[in-house]
Chains A and B, each alone.
Chain A
Amino acid sequence: DQQVKQNSPSLSVQEGRISILNCDYTNSMFDYFLWYKKYPAEGPTFLISISSIKDKNEDGRFTVFLNKSAKHLSLHIVPSQPGDSAVYFCAASGNSGGSNYKLTFGKGTLLTVNP
């Protein structure tokens, strides 16, 4: 049973436009959410995170929105740049039985930003 879902395997946008990557989760115990970015042949790198006590977190061109009632979060990239082309993973963590240090990952969304 997939607890973190990224239903769009891929997304293509034009340079300068907004990229919106979506993520849904089913486990109501999740209270911390992260986005990782992964280039081919490299390990994932941390991008941005949000705690369940917030509904928005911004870092430069990247903003993550959290809708707890809908169990949905999204990553907005504005403006998108060709260097943003990568696979983006959504991950979640929750304090369920003291295991709040484990992350559950979605399957990833491949973002392609076209010049």
Chain B
Amino acid sequence: NAGVTQTPKFRVLKTGQSMTLLCAQDMNHEYMYWYRQDPGMGLRLIHYSVGEGTTAKGEVPDGYNVSRLKKQNFLLGLESAAPSQTSVYFCASSYAGVETQYFGPGTRLLVL
């Protein structure tokens, strides 16, 4: 099992550009999450999904959109990137109703 994988590993964007981060999991988990990690800020929840076709806002959702068209994939989109979105993005997944989440390796995003 690959667990949770994220694509790409690193990306540089110019302000105003758009991009999509892909998260895939092969553990048949119902729940999936997107977090961002900034220096001194810990992990903050952006959006999450409790099942295929569902999404919900987390703590810091502004400027991001998500989609969960397939159970194994959770996409995070930036429609118009801003320098404030420079961060490391982590995807995680878990079984339904279970607190333990499994994380991907992260995507480093730099917005110039």
Tell whether A19 is near chain B: CB-to-CB under 8 Å: no
Tell whether B98 is near chain A: CB-to-CB under 8 Å: yes
A25 to chain B, nearest CB (A): 13
A33 to chain B, nearest CB (A): 9
A51 to chain B, nearest CB (A): 9
Cβ of A43 and Cβ of B50 under 8 Å apart? no
Cβ of B98 and Cβ of A101 under 8 Å apart? yes
- Per-position binary interface string of chain A over residues 35-57, scored 1 when its CB falls under 8 Å from any chain B CB and 0 otherwise: 01000011111100100000000
Q: Counting chain A CB atoms within 10 Å of each CB, which of B44, B58, B103 scores highest? A: B103
* Assembly CA distance A93 to B105 (angstroms): 22
The contact of B50 among A46, A101, A107, A108, by CB within 8 Å, is A101
* Assembly CA distance A6 to B16 (angstroms): 35
Number of residue pairs spanning A and B whose beta carbons lie under 8 angstroms apart: 56
Main secondary structure on chain A at its contact with chain B?
loop
Residues of A within 8 A of B98 (CB): 101
Residues of A within 8 A of B1 (CB): none
Given contacts A102-B45, A107-B42, contact A44 B103 (CB under 8 A): yes
Could you jot down 5 A-B contacts, CB within 8 Å? A41-B106, A43-B105, A101-B48, A101-B94, A101-B98
